[in-house]
Structure 1
Amino acid sequence: MNQPGETNAADPLFNQSLEKGLAVLRAFNAQRRTMTLGDVAEATAMSKSSAQRMVYTLEALGYVCKHPKTRRYQLTPKVMEVGYSYLSADILVDVANPFLSELANITGETVNLTEPYDREMVYVARFVASKFIPIHMPIGSRIPMYCTASGRAYLSALERGRAQEILAASERTVRTPHTRTGIDEIMQVLEAARERGFASNKEELFLGDMTVASPIFNSERTPVASVHVVAPTSRWTLEEAEKKLGPLVLECARSISNSVRALV
């Protein structure tokens, strides 16, 4: 992690204290559920005194609390207010929910809505089926664009040059034995997705996980999100998923896009 404020030190309007406070909140994750002050300082590349000031302020505001016995810090549910504020203000989520629900009912599988951030897709809506799914991805989870159906659906809707720039800037690590990492190969996959209107992914991010996705556009025909259906390999082959789920996902995405355009 870069030193907070390092890349914005020359900007007189940039508030480095706010950046440091947010860095502390972002440092907590599944691997660091609780931390000491020393842990916070190390995770955020701050001095221990800076970490102490940030943690003290966040604790006073109710975003962090200290366990009375272990004396380790952890996040409080108040942190979720920030994410909820985004979701409640996101018109796309409201517009998409009825269509996502309908798609989940028709397919009997879990349906998700993701939006792009940097070189990742962020889960913003989810309708979970009663059937088993191999991977749990709660709202707010982030997945890379290069090896996921939702990411590829979004990339396929961009100008080819822009999609290639994002792929080149991505850390295309091998997640499973099936992960495609070559730019040329992924660009070919994007071309196929562009022609069909939907993209697919078979066990490239997680084993047992397969998805089919289609991009959502705003009134300016700019891609703003992707809708995808989870088709576990325990129930589907790739050919079956593309044949049966592909057209349904595409129709759902088109319906959402048309509804978004109707609001403008």
Structure 2
Amino acid sequence: MSISRPDADETTSLLFNQSLEKGLTVLRAFSAQRRTMTIAEVADAAAINKSSAQRMVFTLEQLGYLRKHPQTRRYQLTPRVMEIGFNYLAANPLIEVANPFLSELTKVTTETTCLTEPDLLDMVYIARFVSAHFVPVHMPIGSRIPMYCTGSGRAYLSALPEDEALAVIERSDRASHTVHTRTAVADILDMLREARRRGYAVNSEELFLGDMTIAAPVLGGSGRPVGAIHVVAPTSRWSREEAERRLAPPLLQCARAVSSSVRAMG
């Protein structure tokens, strides 16, 4: 499966560096499904020719971002790749502002709480406070989840103007991840309107079986959403009605406090 460019319009500029694009595409080609690759596999995954793949891999190896196994001759990422992501997390003021509130929310609810930010059609985990209770799905920092079928994604979309939210939904793949996934555009829009009215969105086993989340948007200085906070409420411990009754109030209080702090930063 090839990795497409995030925005084709960016390639029209004479300043656009295609070699840098290829190098980043090679790094992004490695994943849980492709932990190690040969040069030919890299070329296929990154949708570039073998000669370009060889140059990119050699350069990334020299820079310390890739290494080659001495026996298998297959390439894999090195820990140096994490430096770029860590620098983003360390420099992100939203994380710094939200962390104490997330910690308190986990203490109050005794459940895992998370902060996500939007990127294209996904929400990306940027902070997480794990409770002592079992959670059915491990979502480390950097994990990506689609907006259309998740609590945090719908919370974020509910705070956008409806035409903008509709554009995101229509561009999404809208695959059925479980038997509970809602994929019809009209159904998702109805859920966004309900989330807008209540102040929070709910995902009940639409992405992973056994997983339920309740999420509220974080609003920036212009009143536009900048992210979302959600509480994990596994269906093994919570019914939807009980989760909304007991978890939604402290979640909303947390989201409002983080939003106020974000606005205070200017």
TM-score interval for Structure 1 and Structure 2 normalised by the shorter chain? over 0.9
Q: How big is the shift at 1:4?
A: 6.9
Residues 106 and 129 of structure 2 are in contact (CA less than 8 Å); yes or no, is this contact kept in structure 1?
A: yes
Q: Secondary structure at the match of 1:86?
A: helix
Q: 1:139 aligns with which of 138, 141, 147?
A: 141
Letter of the structure 2 residue corresponding to residue 47 of structure 1: N
1:64 matched residue in structure 2: 66
How many angstroms apart in 1 are the aligned matches of 2:7 and 2:225?
Answer: 32
Q: 2:98 aligns with which of 90, 96, 99?
A: 96
Alpha-carbon deviations, 1:142-197, whole Å to 9, x = none? Answer: 00000000000000000011111111111101000000001111111111110110
2:246 matched residue in structure 1: 244
Q: 1:193 aligns with which of 189, 192, 195?
A: 195
2:56 matched residue in structure 1: 54
Change (3 A) 1:2 1:34: closer
1:28 matched residue in structure 2: 30
1:157 matched residue in structure 2: 159
Q: How big is the shift at 1:2?
A: 5.9
1:18 matched residue in structure 2: 20
1:214 matched residue in structure 2: 216
1:261 matched residue in structure 2: 263
How many angstroms apart in 1 are the aligned matches of 2:82 and 2:12?
Answer: 32
Change (3 A) 1:24 1:262: same
How many angstroms apart in 1 are the aligned matches of 2:23 and 2:251?
Answer: 40
Change (3 A) 1:250 1:44: same
Q: Secondary structure at the match of 2:72?
A: coil
How many angstroms apart in 2 are the aligned matches of 1:32 and 1:115?
Answer: 25
Change (3 A) 1:116 1:259: same
How many angstroms apart in 1 are the aligned matches of 2:119 and 2:67?
Answer: 29
Q: Secondary structure at the match of 1:225?
A: strand
Change (3 A) 1:49 1:145: same
Structure 2 gap ranges (5+): none
Residues 5 and 19 of structure 1 are in contact (CA less than 8 Å); yes or no, is this contact kept in structure 2?
A: no
1:107 matched residue in structure 2: 109
Residues 108 and 129 of structure 1 are in contact (CA less than 8 Å); yes or no, is this contact kept in structure 2?
A: yes
How many angstroms apart in 2 are the aligned matches of 1:257 and 1:152?
Answer: 17
Residues 4 and 46 of structure 1 are in contact (CA less than 8 Å); yes or no, is this contact kept in structure 2?
A: no
RMSD: 1.4
How many angstroms apart in 1 are the aligned matches of 2:35 and 2:208?
Answer: 23
How many angstroms apart in 1 are the aligned matches of 2:136 and 2:11?
Answer: 44
Residues 145 and 152 of structure 1 are in contact (CA less than 8 Å); yes or no, is this contact kept in structure 2?
A: yes
Q: Secondary structure at the match of 2:139?
A: coil
Q: How big is the shift at 1:11?
A: 2.4
Change (3 A) 1:4 1:103: closer
Letter of the structure 2 residue corresponding to residue 249 of structure 1: L
How many residues were matched structurally? 264
Q: Secondary structure at the match of 2:181?
A: coil
How many angstroms apart in 2 are the aligned matches of 1:164 and 1:40?
Answer: 35
How many angstroms apart in 2 are the aligned matches of 1:52 and 1:165?
Answer: 38
Residues 3 and 45 of structure 2 are in contact (CA less than 8 Å); yes or no, is this contact kept in structure 1?
A: no
Change (3 A) 1:6 1:219: closer
How many angstroms apart in 2 are the aligned matches of 1:90 and 1:258?
Answer: 17
Q: How big is the shift at 1:12?
A: 1.0
Residues 4 and 44 of structure 1 are in contact (CA less than 8 Å); yes or no, is this contact kept in structure 2?
A: no
Residues 203 and 209 of structure 1 are in contact (CA less than 8 Å); yes or no, is this contact kept in structure 2?
A: yes
| Identical pairs, percent | 60
1:44 matched residue in structure 2: 46
Change (3 A) 1:2 1:136: closer
